Amino acid sequence: MKKRYFDVIVIGAGSGLEISSFAAAQGLKTAIIEPGPFGGTCLNRGCIPSKMLIQSADVMETIRTSQKFGITGKATKVDWAKIVSRVNKLIDEDSRQIEQANKKSKNLTAYKEYAQFIGKKELLVGKEIITADKIFICAGARPSIPPIPGLKEVPYLTSDEALRLKKQPKTLTIIGGGYIGTELAHFYGSLGTKVTILQRNNLLMSNEDTEIAQTFTRIARQKYNIIFNATTKQVYKKAKQIAADIEVNGKKKTILGEQLLVAAGRQPNTDLLNCKAGGIELTDKGFVKVNAYLETNVPGIWAIGDIAGIYMFKHSANLEAGYAIQNSFGKKIPVDYSAMPHAAFSSPQVASVGKTEDELIEENKKYAKNVHYYRETGYGAAIQEEDGFVKVLVDPNTREILGCHIIGPDASMLIHEVIVAMKAKLGAKGIVDAVHVHPALSEVVQRAFQF
């Protein structure tokens, strides 16, 4: 079998593209391996298409709540095909352009094949065996499919298919109430689909700060049929619908839906790569085990992004790509994950950075806490926001920012001044002393830090 040598091999054309582009620009013979569309999960099956679709849901929600502002509005039609095709056309074109640019790039060889390790620093790609001094594993993760009896026999959706569904279902059952499930519930529900969420515990967004999760759950219960503490025992076809037999506190019931969406988390693609054959050590959950420099146990092999499982966000993968370049081509520096934020573009939006109150209590760390509601600011009153708030957690002596959690309109944007303050170690004083535009919505953040 043909064997080919490279200076650098990058597995995965998401954030890994930053590494392959850098290596090729240095004149290094570089391979980029990507069996799917270029751009990775975020561009093709995740954050970008989902947020573009959610924009349609946000517009619909604005129309439906217009009476609060003295305007009678009504949406007479949802052109589902147009909504979905608009997004997919843009996404597919972006991905195609990225792929074409890589294929034309000097010093870069693109493989549209699956890769598997067959030995130490050796990969089988199609009919070739390739090897390199430096290998970067950036192959991401995929939707996790729980072992529910009958699931393999029924047509079900994951987030991959849910973003490209050609026909809007009248009813949708969602297994899972995390950020993926709740974002898709917002998209489908706002556009008219009747949504049922099967949640295994008693809160949606249960990984968030408890006060945030409780508020989100209370609001969501007014929009969707949510069944808490639900264990799905089996699924099966029933006429033209999909049935889910569930158990709730010892009682059994059956839920019917035109479509079934499984949103039960994500699993790393290490099994598809056969990492064990490459001698690469994995964690108990199957992620590639890396040190503070993103190095694996095999010298000359690094891992970044979802497949390393430290933070499963696109922005953290991009951060890691930069460090992987630095640590493999320059002086080694440990990754600085401080002030790593995240946001859910559900309705309402949720954003967070730093520790939750639950974590601080578990760590037995002293803290001071303050909450400020949107409605207590000029702009919050203008938009008639009744539920949104900013929750801040600081060191009671130094006023170092320990965490900030926001629920409400534009939470994903409002969190950013807190991120900057935390990264720059400005403390609460940095936010309080900064002059904020009045009566901008950002005043709710400033006031939350005024203890």
438 is catalytic: yes
Handedness of CA 183, 185, 189, 193 (dihedral sign): positive
Question: Dihedrals φ, ψ of 438, to 5°?
Answer: -110, 130
**Identity of the amino acid at 408:** G
The answer to whether the beta carbons of residues 319 and 327 sit under 8 Å apart is: no
Of 75, 54, 51, whose CA–CA distance to 63 is shortest?
Answer: 75
- Number of Cβ within 10 Å of residue 251's Cβ equals 7
Q: How far apart are CA 264 and CA 142, in angstroms?
A: 11
The answer to whether the beta carbons of residues 263 and 253 sit under 8 Å apart is: no
DSSP helix/strand/coil, 236: strand
Of 314, 324, 327, 319, whose CA–CA distance to 140 is shortest?
Answer: 314
The answer to whether the beta carbons of residues 58 and 43 sit under 8 Å apart is: no
pTM confidence score:
0.96
Question: Dihedrals φ, ψ of 342, to 5°?
Answer: -155, 165
> Per residue of the chain (451 residues), what is the pLDDT tens digit?
778 999 999 999 999 999 999 999 999 999 999 999 999 998 898 899 999 999 999 999 999 999 999 999 889 899 999 999 999 999 999 999 999 999 999 999 999 999 999 999 999 999 999 999 999 999 999 999 999 999 999 999 999 999 999 999 999 999 999 999 999 999 999 999 999 999 999 999 999 999 999 999 999 999 999 999 999 999 999 999 999 999 999 999 999 999 999 999 999 999 999 999 999 999 999 999 999 999 999 999 999 999 999 999 999 999 999 999 999 999 999 999 999 999 999 999 999 999 999 999 999 999 999 999 999 999 999 999 999 999 999 999 999 999 999 999 999 999 999 999 999 999 999 999 999 999 999 999 999 999 8
pLDDT given at position 414: 98
pLDDT given at position 240: 93
Q: How far apart are CA 402 and CA 255, in angstroms?
A: 42
Q: How far apart are CA 113 and CA 289, in angstroms?
A: 24
Handedness of CA 268, 231, 214, 204 (dihedral sign): positive
Helix H or strand E encompassing 210: helix 210-220
pLDDT given at position 2: 79
Handedness of CA 104, 160, 177, 83 (dihedral sign): positive
Of 315, 372, 405, 438, the active-site residue reads: 438
**Identity of the amino acid at 228:** F
Q: What domains can you pick out in the chain, each with its CATH number?
A: 2-142+267-329 (3.50.50.60), 151-264 (3.50.50.60), 348-448 (3.30.390.30)
- Number of Cβ within 10 Å of residue 96's Cβ equals 13
